[in-house]
Amino acid sequence: MTTQSLRVPELLAPAGSLTMLHTALNFGATAIYAGQPRYSLRVRNNSFGDMEQLREGIDTVHAHGSKFYVVSNIYPQNAKIKTYLADMAKVVALKPDALIMADPGLIDLVRESWPEMPIHLSVQANTGNYAAVRFWRKLGIERVILSRELSLDEVAEIRQQCPDTELEVFVHGALCVAYSGRCLLSGYFNHRDPNQGACTNSCRWDYKVKPTTTDPSGDVFLLEEGTRPGNLMPVEEDEHGTYVMNSKDLRAIEHVQRLVDIGVDSLKIEGRTKSPYYVARTCQAYRRAIDDACAGKPLDPRLLAELDGLANRGYTDGFYQRHHEAEYQNYLHGSSKSGRSLYVGDVRGYDNSGLAEIEVKNRFAVGDQIEVIHPSGNLAIVIESMRNRDGQPIKVAPGDGHIVWISLPPGYTSAFIARFVDV
């Protein structure tokens, strides 16, 4: 495929608030997705249950020339069926560009009530083959978000077999289990149903792996969660895959070129519950990777290092490439770590003397090397001096809740500040 024939895929970014939405647009996203809390998964830190905020978000995105998708991907019980149409009528009236849905019953209700509303099939529906894509196409589904369990070759085959259906894949963020999409442990242990948006992140708890007997179908292992000693849970594997979630974060920036070549329509960043800083760094990196791929340029390896600046649990490219060695997986910790830089503050503006006002998020000090992250480009400098609210020289910005002033070149209002850490 020549570079002239390549279509530029959509860069789809998450938004749990208007601040995240604006950040995503500023850093290169061409589409936004956000959840309607009652009817979508991952509802924490979500401002868009408020209709006025949702209206403002949709209008802002449209004014930018981009698209806004509303997530409505729960698998509901009967009680929510009874309220769904009345509640969603208010959302549909705001004219989002599509609804992201999973449940066939809800899809049928939407098709009957608003046949003109585009529907994107959620990854929770676990579409893993071209026959399933064709099935959903017959029902009027415009776009299918493919299962996270697919390899690049499998995605390519679906593209070839289904040229008239838009395809979307995840390229960054939490590698949630999509085989069931249910994360049953959360409901079992904590009586909080992930399919109703109340996930307790049971995939990230402190597990120990213990061997057990081997049956004729293959090896079986038991998981023991740290706060529940003796409560052992089986982990099984068959020809379809392993029925547990990888605790590493997905990073597929190294596969953007192949995904562009395949003709995938949308590359999606996971993270509606993450911070504006996360959105800025991921959108900036993947925007550059997409633009370079479409221009026939190789991947800039510096983008990998930039993504290492985000707090993460270690990275994996998931199932895009098969048969990684066991050491490639992370079973040691579920918390996020940063190996390159740490987010430490936001640039709020400049005072009359030209000093930049910094809202501190984490500790930093005079002498630290920092990176200023801005849509116009990033800047690496060393902090030579710092002042407090009273204009007095200080050596350290202690942490969250403080305001300090440092010397920065003009033009970096609303930038994010990261401190390089020693590796």
335 within domain boundaries: no
Angle between helices 104-113 and 78-92 (to 10 degrees): 40
- Both 357 and 371 in one domain: the answer is yes
What pTM, to 2 d.p., does this model score?
0.82
Q: What is the CATH number of the domain that holds 394?
A: 2.40.30.10
Name the token pair of 241: 């895959």
Provide the domain count of the chain.
Answer: 3
- Both 225 and 322 in one domain: the answer is no
Give the pLDDT score at 423: 45
- Both 252 and 204 in one domain: the answer is no
Q: What is the CATH number of the domain that holds 118?
A: 3.20.20.70
- Both 268 and 346 in one domain: the answer is no
Q: What's the residue count for the chain?
A: 423
Domain that holds residue 398: 341-420
Cβ within 8 Å of residue 103, ≥6 positions away: 73, 74, 75, 76
333 within domain boundaries: no
373 within domain boundaries: yes
Angle between helices 51-63 and 18-26 (to 10 degrees): 10
281 within domain boundaries: yes
What distances in angstroms separate CA 93 from CA 58, 85, 114, one per listed residue?
Answer: 11, 12, 10
- Both 397 and 316 in one domain: the answer is no
Which of 277, 296, 328 is the last residue before a domain boundary?
328
- Both 369 and 412 in one domain: the answer is yes
- Both 129 and 256 in one domain: the answer is yes
Give the pLDDT score at 215: 54
Q: Is 107 left (phi over 0), alpha (psi -120 to 50) or beta?
A: alpha
Which of 271, 303, 328 is the last residue before a domain boundary?
328
Give the pLDDT score at 225: 74
pLDDT by position in tens, the chain (length 423): 444 457 899 999 999 899 999 999 999 999 999 988 888 876 655 788 899 999 999 999 999 999 999 999 888 889 889 999 999 999 999 999 999 999 999 999 999 999 999 999 999 898 999 999 999 999 999 999 999 889 999 999 999 999 999 999 999 987 765 444 446 566 656 667 665 667 777 666 777 777 666 555 556 677 777 777 877 666 665 544 444 444 578 999 999 999 999 999 999 999 887 889 999 999 999 999 999 999 999 999 999 988 987 877 788 888 898 655 444 444 334 445 555 789 999 999 999 999 999 999 999 999 999 999 999 999 999 999 999 999 999 999 998 889 999 999 999 999 999 999 864
133 within domain boundaries: yes
Strands 166-174 and 266-269: parallel
Output DSSP code: residue 389.
Answer: T
Q: Which residue's entry shows tokens 């959509």?
A: 10
- Both 252 and 237 in one domain: the answer is no
Q: Which residue's entry shows tokens 């708890």?
A: 205
322 within domain boundaries: yes
Given a contact cutoff of 8 angstroms between Cβ atoms, the answer to whether 178 and 149 are in contact is yes
109 within domain boundaries: yes
- Both 236 and 373 in one domain: the answer is no
- Both 33 and 148 in one domain: the answer is yes
- Both 63 and 204 in one domain: the answer is no
295 within domain boundaries: yes
Phi, psi for residue 342 in degrees, rounded to 5 = -130, 130
- Both 11 and 83 in one domain: the answer is yes
Which of 303, 328, 353 is the last residue before a domain boundary?
328
